[in-house]
A = this chain, B = another copy of it.
Amino acid sequence: MELMEALRTRRSCRNFLGTPVEEEKLQVVLEAAGWAPSVMNLQPWRFIVVKNPEVKQALQRAAEDAVRLAYERSGWKWLGKYRVDFLSQAPVVIVVTADPRDTGADQFLRPPSGYAMSCCAAIQNLMLAAHDLGLATLWYSLFDKQTVSHILGLPPHIEVISLVVLGYPAGALPAVPRRPIAELTTVLE
């Protein structure tokens, strides 16, 4: 697929088929993530590819707890009904984690964030590559990092950045409107 088409037509997906993701395709999307830029080329990303049903269920329960907490604190009605079943429904959840020691010279300023930004570039690459292969994704970030870290038994120095849900979409993915970019841009000539 042409780059510009991929950028324009990638969509977030919240309903997945149970169809497994082919091993070759999984490798391609992970490789694509690894081509992202990173501070000092330190490649701080560490991927945990979760196919295990029990672990996916545990991640879903953690997400449900976080949604419930956010609902109680916000009072936002839609959050009270927001379902995160996709975390167990999709064949794969890629937990993107980072080693914050791989953050470059910004570790000497405040706050260090290079490692997290690099991981986000990797996630965007991963999602674009998945789209190119006919797969769909959701970048999911409403969870408690400590809880997810505990579920996965991560060492204390590793930080959970985001979950990326991956699989074949169940149904069409509607386009989501964007604000005119001029409204969000200031030019200093």
- A residues sitting closer than 8 Å to B (CB atoms) are 1-4, 6-8, 10, 12, 27-28, 30-37, 39, 41, 43, 45-52, 55, 66-67, 69-70, 73-74, 76, 79, 104-109, 113-114, 116-117, 120-121, 123-125, 127-129, 132, 139, 141-142, 144, 152, 161-162, 176-179, 181, 184-189
The A interface is mostly helix, strand or loop, or mixed, namely helix
**Given A36-B124, A70-B109, does the pair A117, B132 have CB atoms closer than 8 Å?**
no
Interchain CB contact (< 8 A) of A52 among B31, B47, B114, B189: B189
Contact B1 A2 (CB under 8 A): yes
The complex places the Cα of A39 from the Cα of B139 at a distance, in Å, of 9
Q: How many copies altogether?
A: 2
Identify 29 residue pairs between A and B in the complex whose beta-carbon atoms are under 8 Å apart, listed by A's number.
A1-B3, A3-B3, A4-B32, A7-B32, A7-B125, A7-B129, A30-B181, A36-B124, A37-B127, A43-B178, A45-B184, A46-B184, A46-B186, A47-B186, A48-B187, A49-B185, A52-B188, A52-B189, A55-B188, A69-B109, A73-B108, A74-B105, A106-B141, A109-B142, A114-B141, A117-B120, A120-B120, A121-B123, A121-B124
